[in-house]
């Protein structure tokens, strides 16, 4: 982060790349072995040389336990970092957000973030520090995710922020896969993509799963609305307001569209809900859980990657169906906090919904091979079974 101060992202990456080539592996002790000419050739200015050396000396001396920061509360970690000359609150907050993956960091002194909030809220003037603190409150405890989405909005300032138009379910139809020609359709898997993507994002999983699920048709609809933060992408609901109440309202608004699509797909193939599985990623997981738990009849399975259960406290009053649910989440996810999986698991168990979870060490916001194998095994167990989900039961994990 010292290398990136007051230069473009591209320049910062080039500097770090040259540094890593010169000092491999890159360590504080290795950095201290570089002289002024070395650092100048790499791209360090004199102030950055000084601050870089001060930081490296703090680490080598043990006065700054860089590995110990992960075990500290946010305030303590920021205090430890800002004791080093050249590291201010902004740098410390950015380190917590990106390097440590903390879920609730709100760097109010970040210029791009302030500009994005001004655009999002249609403010006449750029918000000051006090206003930023107030405006960020509704996004607790996931302000880091809000900040990431807002930085994306900053890079796309021309995005329209109006209310969505009515949607025809045919307009959300997306790419399809399988089964093989001449093989009758006996099962259906519907992929639900995340914010800013479209149906093409997850359909690539279908060829990997189809050999294990003979007779299965795969479809990956495009979310109904243009994405606020990625003009070429789609969204199930807006994240202009990242509060739980707003996300729940968004899921409620999108649910009839998704339900109509699911009903049409089941009718198209002459199938029932028990022959349907939903696979969601990120915001798609939020939609899969919201819809599946409220449909009149339970589907065979819900698979959720890197997502969350929206407004879990409302589930007791709203749950109608209890299909088996499996959730996989990386513990290094910087977008949807890893803790969201535990929150969803707890709420599902309390409401007698069978749930199994898989934590993936070191994984960010994505799907890895272990997670895909976890999902494939569950699809084989639940989707390929003949009896309905409620007859199968199953232990929670």
Catalytic residues: 282, 333, 365
Yes or no: say if 187 and 384 are a contact pair by the CB < 8 Å rule: yes
Yes or no: say if 202 and 172 are a contact pair by the CB < 8 Å rule: no
Beta strands at 234-235 and 225-226: parallel, antiparallel or unpaired: antiparallel
Reading the block at residue 47, the tokens are 């102030």
Rounded distance, CA 396 to CA 354, Å? 5
């Amino acid at each position: 982060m010292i290398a990136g101060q007051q230069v473009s992202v591209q320049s910062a990456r080039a500097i770090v790349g040259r540094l890593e080539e010169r000092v491999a592996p890159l360590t504080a002790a290795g950095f201290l072995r570089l002289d002024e000419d070395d650092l100048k050739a790499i791209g360090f200015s004199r102030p950055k040389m000084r601050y870089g050396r001060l930081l490296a000396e703090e680490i080598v001396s043990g006065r700054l336990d860089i590995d110990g920061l992960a075990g500290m509360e946010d305030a303590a970690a920021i205090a430890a970092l800002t004791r080093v000359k050249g590291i201010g609150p902004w740098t410390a907050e950015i380190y917590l957000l990106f390097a440590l993956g903390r879920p609730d960091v709100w760097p109010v002194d970040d210029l791009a973030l302030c500009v994005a909030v001004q655009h999002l809220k249609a403010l006449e003037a750029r918000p000051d520090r006090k206003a930023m603190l107030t405006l960020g409150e509704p996004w607790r405890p996931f302000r880091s995710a809000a900040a990431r989405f807002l930085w994306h909005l900053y890079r796309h300032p021309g995005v329209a922020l109006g209310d969505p138009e009515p949607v025809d379910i045919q307009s959300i139809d997306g790419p399809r896969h399988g089964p093989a020609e001449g093989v009758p359709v006996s099962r259906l898997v519907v992929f639900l993509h995340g914010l800013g993507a479209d149906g093409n994002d997850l359909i690539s999983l279908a060829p990997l799963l189809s050999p294990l699920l003979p007779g299965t048709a795969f479809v990956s609809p495009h979310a109904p609305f243009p994405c606020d933060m990625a003009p070429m992408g789609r969204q199930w609901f807006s994240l202009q307001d990242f509060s739980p109440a707003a996300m729940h309202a968004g899921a409620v608004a999108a649910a009839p569209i998704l339900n109509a699509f699911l009903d049409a797909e089941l009718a198209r193939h002459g199938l029932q809900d028990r022959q349907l599985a939903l696979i969601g990623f990120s915001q798609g997981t939020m939609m899969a859980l919201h819809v599946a738990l409220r449909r009149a009849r339970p589907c065979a399975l819900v698979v959720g990657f890197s997502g969350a259960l929206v407004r879990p406290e409302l589930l007791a009053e709203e749950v109608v169906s209890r299909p088996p649910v499996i959730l996989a989440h990386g513990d290094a996810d910087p977008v949807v906090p890893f803790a969201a999986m535990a929150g969803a698991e707890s709420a599902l168990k309390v409401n007698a919904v069978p749930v199994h979870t898989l934590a993936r060490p070191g994984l960010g916001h994505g799907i890895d091979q272990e997670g895909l194998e976890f999902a494939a095994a569950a699809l084989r167990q639940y989707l390929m079974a003949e009896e309905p989900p409620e007859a199968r039961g199953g232990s929670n994990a």
